[in-house]
């Protein structure tokens, strides 16, 4: 904590649906770090995490965004970047609780927290054009740096003081559906569904673009792939 500063976030390197991340994952001391590491090693949310798959990073207080990309990083000029969205967390939540933990991801968060509200712990909204350009550029850079192909969703935080953008993760297997996030009562509600909904993009168009991109990528590699098929 002396070296990195506080608060910090203890999290597994790999996971889905915020598994392994709880409200207690935000820590303020080395003792709390050790406690959370042991908790993950022993097993949480029906998963166990080996010590070398756990890391600690600075907790970024501020706004959160997500961006969906489609295409081959070997052809960055051809990447399609869908309009970014912002996750606006419930105003009653403390700053250190304004993130997607397993508890709030699965609809239990506001019952646990100091808030008595029954409203969803966050909602999504579109992003203005100037900020959208910056989010698209940093998402593209992150996607290409990791050699992305097919599709991915990039999650980003903006530090509330410096306004600097930080990439939280490049999710190479994000959930795909046409259903936007509303009340979290349906497990088929997704961030991507929200992106499509706010941008007015039909789900069928996304599917068509994904299939077309796959054909474009593999038709040059395999004589067995034919678009006419």
Per-residue pLDDT tens digits for 44-80: 888 899 999 999 999 999 999 999 999 999 999 999 9
**Per-residue confidence (pLDDT) for residue 14, from 0 to 100:** 82
200 in any annotated domain: yes
pTM of the model: 0.87
Q: Answer whether residue 224 is part of any domain.
A: no
Of the given ranges (25-29, 180-184, 194-198), which has the lowest mean pLDDT?
180-184
3-state secondary structure (DSSP) of residue 86: strand
Q: Which of 22, 39, 59 is the last residue of a domain?
A: 59
Where does 22-119 show beta strands of DSSP type E? 26-27, 54-58, 62-70, 80-81, 85-89
| 57/95 Cα distance (integer angstroms) | 16
The yes-or-no verdict on residue 134 having pLDDT over 90 is yes
Distance CA 151, CA 171 (A): 9
Both 37 and 74 in one domain: the answer is: no
Q: In sequence order, what E strands does 76-204 have?
A: 80-81, 85-89, 122-126, 151-159, 165-171, 179-180, 189-190
Residues spanned by the domain of 18: 1-59
Is 88 a residue whose pLDDT tops 80? yes
Same domain, 75 and 34: no
Tokens standing for residue 218: 């593999």
Residue 182 is predicted with a pLDDT of 84
What is the SS3 assignment for 219? helix
Mean pLDDT in residue range 16-31: 92
pLDDT at 16: 79
Cis peptide bond prior to 69, omega within 30° of 0? no
Residues 52 and 64 grouped into a single domain: no
Same domain, yes or no, for 163 and 87?
yes
* Shared domain check, 189 and 97: yes
Mean pLDDT of 132-147: 97
Number of domains in the chain: 2
12 and 71 in a common domain: no
């Amino acid at each position: 904590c002396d070296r990195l500063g506080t608060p910090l976030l203890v999290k597994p390197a790999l996971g889905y649906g915020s598994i392994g991340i709880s409200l207690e994952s935000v820590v303020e001391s080395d003792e709390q770090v050790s406690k959370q590491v042991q908790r993950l090693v022993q097993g949480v949310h029906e998963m166990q995490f080996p010590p070398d798959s756990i890391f600690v990073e600075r907790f970024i207080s501020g706004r959160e965004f997500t961006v969906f990309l489609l295409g081959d990083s070997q052809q960055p000029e051809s990447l399609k970047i869908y309009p970014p969205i912002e996750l606006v967390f419930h105003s009653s939540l403390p700053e250190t609780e304004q993130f997607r933990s397993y508890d709030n991801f699965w609809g239990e968060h506001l019952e646990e927290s100091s808030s008595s509200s029954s409203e969803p712990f966050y909602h999504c909204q579109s992003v203005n054009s100037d900020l959208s350009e910056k989010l698209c550029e940093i998402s593209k850079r992150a996607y290409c740096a990791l050699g992305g192909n097919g599709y991915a969703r990039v999650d980003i935080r903006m530090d509330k003081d410096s306004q600097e953008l930080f990439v939280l993760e490049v999710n190479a297997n994000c959930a795909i559906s046409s259903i936007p996030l509303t009340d979290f009562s349906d497990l088929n509600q997704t961030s991507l569904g929200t992106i499509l909904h706010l941008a007015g993009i039909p789900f069928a168009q996304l599917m068509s673009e994904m299939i077309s991109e796959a054909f474009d990528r593999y038709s040059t590699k395999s004589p067995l792939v034919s678009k006419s098929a």
